Structures are given as C-alpha cells and as structure tokens.
C-alpha cells in the first residue's frame, strides 16, 4: 500500500472513532432520562392527576354539597317541629277559648235572676250540666227560692274575665270573674264575684258539660253555688246569723 492509501485508512479509522465518541453522549442522555423505578413513575402520574385543579374543585364542591344537604335536613326537621308546636299551641288556645266561653256563660246565667221569675233561673242553672251537678243545683235553688222571694231579690251580671287555669284528660278548670249588681228590700250593691268552673270536654270544642261551679269569694255566695267551706257541693251556706246565702255575692 502507498503512503496515500495508508493515510486514507488512518483517516477513516479516526473518523469512525470520532463518530463513536460523538454518539456516546446521546446514548448516555437517553439512559439518564429513564426512571430507575417504573412503579414510582406510575404513582407519581396518578398523584398528579388526582391533584389536578379540576379534580380538587370537584371534590370541594362535593363536600360542600354534602354539608349543605345535611344542614338543610337538620333545619327542615327543626322547622317542622317548630311549626308542629305552633299548631299544637294554636289548637290548645282555641280549645281554651271555647272552655272559657262556656264557663263564662254559665257563671253569668247563675248570677242573673229575678224573684218574679225564679223558674227561668232554676232552668238556666241546670242547663248544660252533669246529672250529679244538676241534682245538687236543683236542691240548692229550692232552698234559696223562698228567701229570694221574701227579699224581692233581683241580680244582674256582666262577665269580666274567664281564664282557663288547667286541663287534664278532657277536664278543664276555668276561673271566672263576674260583675254582679244586686237589689233587694235590704238595699242594693255591686261587687265582683269569682267562680271556679269545671267542665268536661265532649267530642268537639263546642260540646261542654259543667260538672262543678264553686264561688271562690270569701264572702257569702250566690244561691245554688257553693262557696269555700261548704261540705256539700251545690248547697248554700247557712248559719244562725245568715239563714240563707246572699245572692250575687
């Protein structure tokens, strides 16, 4: 081989070595970019996807929706309970008002009489009452009748107030205050008379039966209505100084 050929051969060998050297960094770079653990790369990708802004927003909105629904349910239950309680209170107030009216009407009937027409009074005080209380009132008015006639007694009354004070198992107690004007041969006077009226509720709020009515004044009481200290309901008070009850007081 000549010198020129030898030089070309050496030049080709040098070029081949240069090419090999120049390609090594490329191969090395590709190797460096490959992860050492393929599983770690998959987990990293999953974490990046899970923490993506869109998914975070969706999760926050879902939690907010759950919390909002729970609050709405709690508020709805409390609101429903409050409405039910208001309805019960309104219904009870309406029933109390009916009991108060029935008791007030009865107290006014008992406090109104005229010695010229005591039959009307006796019928009024035995209207809308239980059989037991009716028998007591009939006995009491019979005892009072001759006294009222002899004194030429008349009484007129006006309802001042009636308030339900309690109820249990359909039995109501109502405190009634009546303004009573009395006139007789002994004179005339006006006073406030208090009664405690017990009523039994019927099937409806308009169905009431009087089972007891007591005069709660410390003074003498209306004929036919027991006052404090009476031993027999419906019997008028009597003693040596006061042979008959004082009507209207």
β-strand pairing of 187-201 with 208-215: antiparallel
Q: For the segment 10-26, what is each residue's pLDDT rounded down to a tens digit?
A: 555 555 554 444 444 54
pLDDT of 226 above 50: no
Q: Are 205 and 98 in contact (CB under 8 A)?
A: yes
Q: For the segment 134-187, what is each residue's pLDDT rounded down to a tens digit?
A: 999 999 999 999 999 999 999 999 999 999 999 999 999 999 999 999 999 999
Q: What is the mean pLDDT of residues 123-132?
A: 94
Q: Which residue has the higher pLDDT, 80 or 241?
A: 80
Closest to 248 (Cα-Cα) out of 157, 138, 147, 144: 157
Q: Which residue has the higher pLDDT, 122 or 57?
A: 122
Q: What is the mean pLDDT of residues 66-94?
A: 78
Q: Are 137 and 224 in contact (CB under 8 A)?
A: yes
At 242, list the tokens.
């006061």
pLDDT of residue 42: 58
Q: How confident is the model at residue 35 (pLDDT cuts 50, 70, 90)?
A: low
Q: What is the mean pLDDT of residues 205-222?
A: 76
The DSSP result for 63-74, as a single string, is HHHHHHHHHHHH
Q: What is the mean pLDDT of residues 56-63?
A: 68
Q: Which residue has the higher pLDDT, 234 or 225?
A: 225
Q: How confident is the model at residue 119 (pLDDT cuts 50, 70, 90)?
A: very high
Q: Are 21 and 27 in contact (CB under 8 A)?
A: no
Q: Which range has the worst mean pLDDT, 130-134, 188-192, 236-240?
A: 236-240
pLDDT of 223 above 60: no
Q: What does the alpha-carbon distance between residue 10 and residue 235 come to, in Å, rounded to a whole number?
A: 151
Q: Are 148 and 118 in contact (CB under 8 A)?
A: yes
Q: What is the DSSP letter of 240?
A: S
pLDDT of residue 84: 75
Highest mean pLDDT among 27-36, 100-109, 226-235: 100-109
Q: Which residue has the higher pLDDT, 228 or 129?
A: 129
pLDDT of 100 above 90: yes
Q: What does the alpha-carbon distance between residue 239 and residue 156 come to, in Å, rounded to a whole number?
A: 26
CATH number for 51-249 (one of 3.10.450.230, 3.40.630.20, 3.30.930.10, 3.90.420.10): it is: 3.10.450.230
Q: What is the mean pLDDT of residues 26-32?
A: 46
Instruction: Tell me what the pLDDT averaged over the chain comes to.
Output: 75
Q: What is the mean pLDDT of residues 118-147?
A: 94
Closest to 157 (Cα-Cα) out of 206, 117, 208, 121: 121
């Amino acid at each position: 081989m000549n010198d020129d050929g030898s030089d070309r051969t050496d030049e080709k060998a040098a070029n081949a070595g240069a090419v090999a050297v120049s390609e090594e960094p490329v191969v090395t770079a590709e190797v460096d970019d490959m992860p050492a653990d393929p599983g770690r790369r998959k987990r990293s990708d999953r974490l990046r996807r899970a923490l993506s802004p869109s998914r975070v927003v969706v999760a926050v909105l879902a939690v907010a929706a759950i919390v909002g629904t729970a609050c709405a349910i709690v508020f709805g239950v409390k609101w429903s309970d409050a409405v039910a309680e208001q309805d019960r209170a309104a219904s009870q107030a309406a029933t109390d008002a009916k009991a108060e009216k029935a008791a007030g009407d009865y107290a006014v009937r008992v406090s109104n009489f005229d010695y010229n027409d005591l039959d009307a009074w006796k019928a009024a005080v035995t209207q809308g009452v239980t059989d037991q209380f009716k028998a007591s009132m009939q006995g009491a008015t019979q005892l009072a009748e001759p006294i009222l006639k002899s004194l030429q007694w008349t009484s007129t009354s006006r309802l001042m107030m009636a308030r339900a004070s309690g109820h249990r198992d359909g039995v109501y107690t109502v405190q009634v205050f009546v303004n009573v004007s009395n006139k007789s041969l002994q004179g005339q006077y006006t006073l406030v008379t208090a009664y405690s009226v017990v009523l039994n509720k019927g099937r409806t709020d308009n169905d009431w039966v009087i089972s007891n009515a007591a005069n709660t004044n410390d003074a003498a009481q209306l004929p036919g209505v027991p006052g404090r200290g009476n031993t027999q309901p419906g019997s008028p008070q009597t003693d040596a100084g006061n042979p008959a009850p004082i009507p209207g007081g």
